[in-house]
Structure 1
């Protein structure tokens, strides 16, 4: 058999094993409602909130709303630039989501507005993450019980950030977390799974077959999330369901075939959209991604066609660092 054919067969087997978890074709119109709800939470007339979540969702779901993408990104970039220039405090989770939004928008987060001083969002997130890890060095709880650490690690991993060896060692020091994981909320644990999945792939590429600690953590964490699946489709609680689906679908190799059927969760999310149950942009964006069969890991695969490259034909607002 020709090698290319063999590779194609293997890829098809993997895709089949992983399964497809997204809205059925005849119900896709329903998922558009969550995007509309996201837009109403973000844009009101000429007022645009600085929020990374709607931009990430728009870019991954590919709703083809370039003008809204531009409006949201310009406001986000302006707010981040002012915060970094003035040294204003940024929460790790918020900064990490901003970094992922830049990645999804095909924009350079390391030097994106240099009128007065170059601003580097990657460095800002890395500094914040390393500082948080330093404070957690002697903690007796899993590092990923902190949602900011999970988001920060995921964002930097997607950016192919070169983690300092001591920080990487700290992140990879996994033990038997079966008992400790009982105290971690499902949404936080699901984010930890995504971050660990990204790290596991990075480490496996650079050090083949040497990720036993990560694989052990993923196996335990996935098992814990699976235990939170209800017959209604809810995983943990309603707000954690979408991100949990992302974590489980990406890590299908850590549970037996048939142990998780994502479609009850998909149908539950669709129903709750009609009830306008998702009140914050973080959860709503995760719902939009999940219904489209996307995860945060897809931020590494944006469609950077010139017609939707955010700054090609738009003059950015002048940045006033004295604001």
Structure 2
């Protein structure tokens, strides 16, 4: 066993935090439900946002009738956009893929009742374009946030991911002269952790797992290095996704991370209207529920309950 792994396991034994400890107090449930209500309402204004639906699915309380309605609208929008040739960016394709998987649907076979589309194939094609841009220009076609979101979605779909893309990401993370989190945003670093964590879990080769473990640890340390005294990581809007990255790796988190401090800070901002958009809410709710985007692959839709209080339904 390498020194690195020994140190990691020592942290686990001495200081590890389980994700079960990362959950808001139930007496604040009404505040979280108010954010869910905002997401439900957002679906009534044009095409639903796949990030909003994904977040609703990762919550522990549901309005099943409205979620089914949004799921249908989402399928109709995806098929229409694809048939009409609208540009599906890498990140948007990944979000649609994750959203449908969160509803226990196969993203490779999405239907509006008339036509069918294969989002997994489309996402693979998008990643090939990103790879070509990396090879030619040393930069992704879009950006590293969308690239790592695509890696995460494909990993959850058990699709192979280009070694070239993974190697490029690892090299950038491990560049000590230009730390990843200083070159890119906290959100990008957090999404990179989630993508690499999915790959790490899917590998059986211990040497390959160790190679991915190193950049995960590096990014987690950089995230913790960006924590502020006010209970944020980066800023209030990036804190939710950063917390997801940290709780996705309980065996690799360190003494400096006390989840409850960050959740209390996030909760305190809800009555102020700080999280006033789908994008801002979508990063926060999974963290408050002690979940991450990685949990999409283990959701059991048959166990859902229609338990969102009536006043919080859209």
- Equivalences for 1:157-196 in 2 at 5 Å? 157-164=155-162, 167=165, 170=168, 176-178=174-176, 179-181=178-180, 182-196=182-196
CA contact (8 A) 1:145 1:189 kept: no
Task: Report how far residue 37 of structure 1 moved.
Answer: 2.2
What is the alpha-carbon distance in structure 2 between the residues aligned to residue 175 and residue 235 of structure 1? 18
Task: Report how far residue 170 of structure 1 moved.
Answer: 5.0
What is the alpha-carbon distance in structure 1 between the residues aligned to residue 14 and residue 291 of structure 2? 17
**Match of 2:22?**
21
**Match of 1:277?**
274
- Equivalences for 1:63-102 in 2 at 5 Å? 63-102=61-100
Closer, same or farther: CA 110–55 of 1 in aligned 2, 3 Å: same
- Equivalences for 1:222-301 in 2 at 5 Å? 222-256=220-254, 258-301=255-298
What is the root-mean-square deviation of aligned Cα atoms in Å? 2.8
Name stretches of at least 5 consecutive residues in structure 2 with no aligned partner: 1-12, 307-314
What is the alpha-carbon distance in structure 1 between the residues aligned to residue 174 and residue 43 of structure 2? 42
**Match of 1:321?**
none
What is the alpha-carbon distance in structure 1 between the residues aligned to residue 121 and residue 95 of structure 2? 14
1:145-189: CA deviation from partner (whole Å, max 9, x where unpaired) = 611101111111111113355555555656622324121100111
**Match of 1:105?**
103
1:215 aligns with 2:242: no
1:32-71: CA deviation from partner (whole Å, max 9, x where unpaired) = 121122223332xxx5532112211221113220121012
Closer, same or farther: CA 302–14 of 1 in aligned 2, 3 Å: farther
Task: Report how far residue 29 of structure 1 moved.
Answer: 2.7
For normalisation by structure 2, the TM-score amounts to 0.83
1:220-241: CA deviation from partner (whole Å, max 9, x where unpaired) = 1111111111121111011110
What is the alpha-carbon distance in structure 1 between the residues aligned to residue 128 and residue 99 of structure 2? 21
Name stretches of at least 5 consecutive residues in structure 1 with no aligned partner: 1-12, 310-323
What is the alpha-carbon distance in structure 1 between the residues aligned to residue 138 and residue 88 of structure 2? 26
For normalisation by structure 1, the TM-score amounts to 0.81
Task: Report how far residue 134 of structure 1 moved.
Answer: 1.3
Alignment length (residue pairs): 292
CA contact (8 A) 1:144 1:189 kept: no
Choose 155-164 or 72-81, whichever is displaced more.
Answer: 155-164
Closer, same or farther: CA 48–66 of 1 in aligned 2, 3 Å: farther
